[in-house]
Structure 1
C-alpha cells in the first residue's frame, strides 16, 4: 500500500485526484484539510504519514498578481519546512503548468515553487516530480476560475450566452486522463531526485468548437432529452462535464405517454450513440445499485410501479431523492461520480428500463460500489 496525501484535496483537481486514487486497491489516502497550512502540528503529522504527496494546492486567480505569487510560494515553503523539521522524505509530485514559461507571476510561482522543491529533494535525499499540465477541464469545475469550459457550461445551463474574447486553439486534457498521469507517477519506481514531465494534451480545439458542442448539448439533451454522439473520447468527456452543471431539480423528466384503445406507448430513449439497454423487475422494499461510474452515461426509466432513486456525490453528504411512478413514466440520468440506487417503494412489482452508453465489460466495468 502506498500512502498518498493531496494538498488542495477539496479543490477541483484535488478532489478528482482523491476520488480517482480512491478506486485503486494499492493506494491508502491520507486526508488533508486546508487548515493544515495554518497549523504546524497538523501539517507535520500529515507529511510524516505520507509516502507520496501530490502538491496541488495553489491560487490560480486574483486581482493582484503578487498575491498569487506570494500565496503559492508560501505554500511550498510551509510544506518544505514541515518535511525538514520532521525529517520526512515523501516523494512530492508537484502540479506545475505550461504557464511556467510565460511572463506572469502565476507562471513564476510555479517555476520558483518547482525549483524550491528540487533544492529540498537534493539536500534531503527525497524525490520531486513536476507535472507540467496543459488546460484541464472536467465535471464540477468552478466557473470563472478553473477553466473556460466550466464557465461556458455554467452560463449555458443558466440560459446565458457565452462570449469568445479570442478564438484561439487550446490544448486540453480531461481530468480523468490527468488523474491517470498522476497515478502513473505515484507508482513509478524511478529513483531520479528531480524529474519534470510534460503532460501531453489529449485534444486541441478552438474555443468556438467547444462552445458549439456545448450549445448542441443544451439543445439536444436538456431541451429534448436526446443523448449526443459519444463515440469520440473528447466529446464524451465534454458531455459529462456539461451534464455535471445541470441542477438536480431538472430531474425527473416525464416521458410523453400516448394512449388509445389498445393501451399506451412511451418512447424511452433517443440517442445519437450506441449503447446497451436492459430492464429489471424489483419486488417491494428491495434496493438495487449503490454504485457509481467515472465515465458512463446512464438512464433509469421507471415504466411500471413506484420507485425512489437516490444520488449522492462521492465524498459528500447531500443525498438527492427522486420519486417516480409508472403511471406517469419518467427518467433520471446518473451523473458521473455520483453513487446511485433505486428502491421499490410501492406495493407491486417495479419495472425499470436501463440504458448505458457502453456494453458491460467485466474486465473494465467502471462500476464502484459505495452505499448512497
Structure 2
C-alpha cells in the first residue's frame, strides 16, 4: 500500500484524484492534507514524512497581478522542497505542470521553473520525480471563468447566459477522469521522468465544443432527451454538462400524461443511445440505492406510489430531497459523483422504472456504495 499526499486536493483535479484513490483503499492510503501546511513548517514536514508519494497540484493560475501568480507558485514548490530536504524524504514527487510552460507568461514560467527546482532536488537527494505536462483539462465541477472554457460554457448555458467565443482556436483536451488515471499510472510505475507529456485525448475547435453543448441544452436541458453520444469525448462532455444544472430546482420533471377511456400513456425516455431499462416494485418503508457512479447516466422514473429520491454530492453534506408521486409521473436523473437513493414513503407498493446508459456488468459495475 502506498501512502499518497495530494497538495491542492480541494481543487478541481485534486478532488477528482482524491475521490478516485478512495475507491481502492486496499492499494492507497491518503495522507491528510490542508492548505494551512504551507504556512506552518512543522506541519509541512510532518506531511512530507508520512508520504510515499506526493502529488503537488496546489497552484495559483488566476490573479490580477501575474507577478503574484509567479511568486506564489515558486514559494509553494520551495516550501515542499525545504520539507523534503529537512526530513531526508525520498518520496516520489509528481508535479503538475502545464502546456503553457513555453508561453511567454509568468504562470507558464512559474511552472517550468518549479519543475526544474524539483529536478535539482531529485538529482541531489536521490529521490524520484515526475514532471507532468498536462493539456487543457475539463470535467464535472470545474469552476466557470477559472478552470476551463468548457466549465464557463456549461455554466452559462444552464443559467440563462449566452456564451461568447473570443478565439476559435484548436484545443487539445483531456477529461479529468482520464488525467486521474494517467497520474495513478505514474504513481504505480514509480519511475523518475523529468518530463512526462500527458497525452491529450481529443482535439476540437472551441466552436465545435460549443455546438455540442448547445445541442445538449436543446435536447436534454429543455427537451429531456438523451442525445446521441458517439465518442468517449461526447460522453465525457455530456456528463460534464449535466453537473452544472441547478439540480434542486431542475428536478423532478413531470412527464406528459396522455389519458383516454382505456387508461394512460406516458413516454419515459427518448434517447439517441442504447442502454438498459428495468423496473422495480418497492414495499413501503424500504430504501433502494445508496450508491454513486463515476460515468453512468441514469434516470429514476416513478409511475405508481409515493417516493423520496435523495442525492448528495460526494465530499459534501448537503442532501437534496425530491418528492415524487405516481399520480403525476415524474423523473430525476442522477449526476455522476452524487450518491443517491429512492425510498417508498407511501402506503402502497412503489413502481419505479430505471434507465441506465450501459447494461450492468458485475466485472465493471461503476457502482460504489455510500449512504446518502
Aligned twin of 1:93: 94
Q: Hey, what's the Cα distance between the residues in 2 that align with 1:86 and 1:37?
A: 16
Q: Deviations over 1:225-264 (max 9, x none)?
A: 0011123110110001111000111011010111111111
State the SS of the aligned residue for 1:94: strand
- Aligned-pair CA distance for 1:221: 0.4
Aligned twin of 2:256: 256
Unaligned 5+ runs, structure 1 = none
User: Structure 1 residue 237 and structure 2 residue 248: aligned?
Assistant: no
Aligned twin of 2:246: 247
Q: Hey, what's the Cα distance between the residues in 2 that align with 1:9 and 1:368?
A: 21
Aligned twin of 2:119: 118
State the SS of the aligned residue for 2:189: coil
TM-score normalised to the size of structure 1? Answer: 0.98
Q: Is the 8 A contact 2:171 2:203 kept in 1?
A: yes
> RMSD over aligned Cα, in angstroms?
1.0
TM-score normalised to the size of structure 2? Answer: 0.98
Aligned twin of 2:59: 58
User: Structure 1 residue 301 and structure 2 residue 301: aligned?
Assistant: yes
- Aligned-pair CA distance for 1:51: 0.7
Aligned twin of 2:332: 332
Aligned twin of 1:187: 188
Q: Hey, what's the Cα distance between the residues in 2 that align with 1:306 and 1:39?
A: 53
Q: Hey, what's the Cα distance between the residues in 1 that align with 2:190 and 2:47?
A: 23
State the SS of the aligned residue for 1:258: strand
Unaligned 5+ runs, structure 2 = none
State the SS of the aligned residue for 1:164: coil
Aligned twin of 2:195: 196
State how 1:13-24 maps to structure 2 within 5 Å.
13-24=13-24
Q: Hey, what's the Cα distance between the residues in 1 that align with 2:212 and 2:128?
A: 42
Q: Hey, what's the Cα distance between the residues in 1 that align with 2:160 and 2:21?
A: 35
Aligned twin of 2:288: 288
Q: Is the 8 A contact 2:6 2:56 kept in 1?
A: yes
Aligned twin of 1:71: 72
Q: Is the 8 A contact 2:94 2:132 kept in 1?
A: yes
Aligned twin of 1:310: 310
Aligned twin of 1:162: 163
- Aligned-pair CA distance for 1:160: 1.1
- Aligned-pair CA distance for 1:168: 0.7
- Aligned-pair CA distance for 1:287: 0.9
Aligned twin of 1:49: 50
